[in-house]
């Protein structure tokens, strides 16, 4: 049995591929390399370069590699940019998912793990987000992820698709020094880039009602997240029941100020971050409960905050060095 990992050449997807290999499962990667890196795909893992929008390519890949399940990680993941590029966001995340599901139906593939997002909740008015917290996405990106969950739900009703969606918050760290986060919008890549270029990192707001005045967010290690994807896939293979959606969260969170202090300690570069104005709509605290995922997906916070920063710093430093 083979699991197709869409977006498997990206930061998160490449970790999922390695988690599947560690679990003794057979992955195949599909990625258009718009943000991924072919070097992230292990040499012994089949790689199909192409877009989710190419339904024929999807069916051919499923047929050639005898695909029996899909972990759908591919997508346009920039929430802020999605506000100014809504059509592109919907094409990649909604049309792409619909074509993937159509290809799965055509080939008889009946199980999928979907990479969803905490963005489906928008700005909740609770300190601890559970799976039942009302959904109120506030960007086309968040809306597209919620629609993706609806597509899985409706295909489950209509065609018996077995599925689960994993919602996660701030993914950091690295499980392999060769795998790094190259996003131009995520916190740690921005901070590390600033330090490597001799600039002072900037954060948004230090006057929130939190212990140190900075936002509190849920930071989870990418390798922990990837492991839960593999567990979900194994449970679907075994026909075991899963919830429609799971939060992958720490239950307590860390402040941006704590992240900055950990960065200074790990890198050995002392700095005091520049303080920019608050971003509109940024809540003081968003933290997710991971209780259901701990029960069903072996979800644990296996890495400390320092581990998260250190592993990502090592991978980033490796990526920043010129090749020999």
Cα–Cα distance list, 187 to 82, 159, 250, 311 (Å): 17, 40, 18, 15
* pLDDT at 323 > cutoff 60: no
Residue % of the chain over a pLDDT of 70 = 98
Whole-angstrom Cα distance, residue 316 to residue 178?
9
Q: 294: burial class by Cβ within 10 Å (0-12, 13-18, 19+)?
A: middle
pLDDT score recorded for residue 322: 44
Which entry of 11, 78, 121, 141 is annotated as an active-site residue? 141
| DSSP per residue, 245-267 | EEEE--SS-EEHHHHHHHHHHHH
DSSP state at residue 293? H
Query: Which range, of 120-129, 168-177, 285-294, averages the lowest pLDDT?
Result: 120-129
pTM of structure: 0.95
* pLDDT at 99 > cutoff 70: yes
List the Cα angle 292/299/241 in 5-degree steps: 50
* pLDDT at 44 > cutoff 70: yes
How confident is the prediction for the chain on average, in pLDDT?
94
| Furthest-apart CA atoms within the chain: distance in Å | 57
CA dihedral sign of residues 112, 160, 290, 149: positive
Whole-angstrom Cα distance, residue 273 to residue 40?
32
Query: Can you tell me the mean pLDDT for 289-306?
Result: 96
Query: Which range, of 17-21, 167-171, 279-283, 291-295, averages the lowest pLDDT?
Result: 279-283
Domains of the chain: 2-172+219-248 (3.40.50.720), 187-217+250-320 (3.90.25.10)
pLDDT score recorded for residue 324: 31
pLDDT score recorded for residue 321: 53
pLDDT class for 320, splitting at 50, 70, 90? low
The verdict on whether 141 is a catalytic residue reads: yes
β-partners of residue 92 are: none
What are the phi and psi torsion angles at 145 (to 5°)?
-70, -40
């Amino acid at each position: 049995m083979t699991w197709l990992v869409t977006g498997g050449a990206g930061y998160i997807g490449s970790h999922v591929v390695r988690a599947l290999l560690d679990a003794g499962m057979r992955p195949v990667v599909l990625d258009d390399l718009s943000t991924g890196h072919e070097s992230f795909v292990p040499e012994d893992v089949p790689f199909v370069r192409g877009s989710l929008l190419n339904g024929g390519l999807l069916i051919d890949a499923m047929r050639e590699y005898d695909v029996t399940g899909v972990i759908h990680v591919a997508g346009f993941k920039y929430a802020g940019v999605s506000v100014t590029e809504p059509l592109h966001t919907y094409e990649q995340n909604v049309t792409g998912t619909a074509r993937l599901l159509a290809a799965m139906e055509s080939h008889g593939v009946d199980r999928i793990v979907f990479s969803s997002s905490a963005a489906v909740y928008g700005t909740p008015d609770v300190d601890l987000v559970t799976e039942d917290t009302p959904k109120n996405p506030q960007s086309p990106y968040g809306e597209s992820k919620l629609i993706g969950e609806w597509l899985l739900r409706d295909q489950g009703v209509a065609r018996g698709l077995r599925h689960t969606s994993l919602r996660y918050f701030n993914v950091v760290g690295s499980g392999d020094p060769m795998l790094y986060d190259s996003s131009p919008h995520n916190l740690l890549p921005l901070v590390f880039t600033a330090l490597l270029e001799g600039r002072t990192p900037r954060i948004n707001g230090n006057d929130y009602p939190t212990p140190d005045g900075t936002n509190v967010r849920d930071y989870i290690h990418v390798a922990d997240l990837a492991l839960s994807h593999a567990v979900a896939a194994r449970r679907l293979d075994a026909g075991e029941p899963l919830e429609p959606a799971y939060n992958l969260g720490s239950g307590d969170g860390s402040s941006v100020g704590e992240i900055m202090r950990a960065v200074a300690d790990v890198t050995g570069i002392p700095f005091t971050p520049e303080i920019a104005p608050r971003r509109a709509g940024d809540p003081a605290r968003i933290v997710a409960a991971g209780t259901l995922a701990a029960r069903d997906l072996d979800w644990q916070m296996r890495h400390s905050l320092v581990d998260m920063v250190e592993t990502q710093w090592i991978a980033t430093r490796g990526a920043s060095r010129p090749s020999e």
